[in-house]
Amino acid sequence: MTHNFLSPLTGSFAMPAAENPTVAMIEAAYRHHGLDWRYLNCEVAPSALADAVRGARAMGWMGFNCSIPHKVAVIEHLDGLGESARIIGAVNTVVRRGERLIGENTDGKGFVAALSPIVHPAGKRVVLLGAGGAARAVGVEMALAGAAEITIVNRSAGRGEEVAAIIDANTPAIGRYQPWMSRYVVPEGTDILINATSIGLFPDVEAMPDIDADSLRPDMVVADGIPNPPLTPFLRAAQRRGCRTADGLGMLVNQGIVAIRYWTGIDADAAVMRRALLDLGL
Ligand code: NDP
Q: Are residues 159 and 182 in the same domain?
A: yes
Residue 269 clears pLDDT 60, i.e. is over it: yes
Distance CA 125, CA 73 (A): 33
200 belongs to a structural domain: yes
Is residue 71 flagged as an active site residue? yes
Considering the domain architecture, whether residues 89 and 125 belong to the same structural domain is answered as no
Count: domains in the chain: 2
Q: What are the DSSP E strand ranges found in 84-235?
A: 93-97, 100-104, 125-129, 149-154, 174-179, 192-195, 221-224
| Residues 178, 56 within the same domain | no
For residues 30 and 56, membership in a common domain is answered with yes
User: Phi then psi for 203, rounded to 5 degrees?
Assistant: -90, 5
Closest residue CA from atom 18 of ligand 1:
199
- State whether the Cα torsion 164-111-213-132 is positive or negative: negative
Looking at residue 34, which CATH number applies to its domain?
Answer: 3.40.50.10860
- Is the pLDDT at 122 greater than 70? The verdict is yes
Residue 134 lies in a domain: yes
Q: Do residues 70 and 120 both lie within one domain? A: no
Q: Is residue 2 part of a domain?
A: no
Question: What range does the domain containing 264 cover?
Answer: 9-105+251-279
Which pTM was predicted? 0.95
Same domain as 133, residue 50: no
Q: The domain spanning residue 219 has which CATH number?
A: 3.40.50.720
Of all residues in the chain, what percent carry a pLDDT higher than 70?
96
CA of 136, closest atom in ligand 1? 25
* 42 and 153 co-located in one domain: no
Q: Are residues 81 and 186 in the same domain?
A: no
Could you tell me how many residues make up the chain? Answer: 282
Is 4 within a domain?
no
Residues 99 and 227 grouped into a single domain:
no
Half-sphere exposure in the Cβ direction for 100 (13 Å, CA): 9
pLDDT tens readout for residues 213-228 = 999 999 999 999 999 9
* 257 falls within a domain: yes
The pLDDT tens digits for 178-233 are: 999 999 999 999 999 999 999 999 999 999 999 999 999 999 999 999 999 999 99
CA 8 to ligand 1 center in whole angstroms: 33
Identify whether the C-beta of residue 219 lies closer than 8 Å to the C-beta of residue 241: no
113 and 242 fall within a common domain:
yes
Residue 3 lies in a domain: no
Residue 1 lies in a domain: no
Q: Are residues 138 and 194 in the same domain?
A: yes
Which residues contact ligand 1 via a Cβ below 6 A?
107, 110, 130-135, 154-156, 159, 196-199, 201, 225-227, 248, 251-252, 255
Tell me the pairing of strands 125-129 and 149-154. Answer: parallel
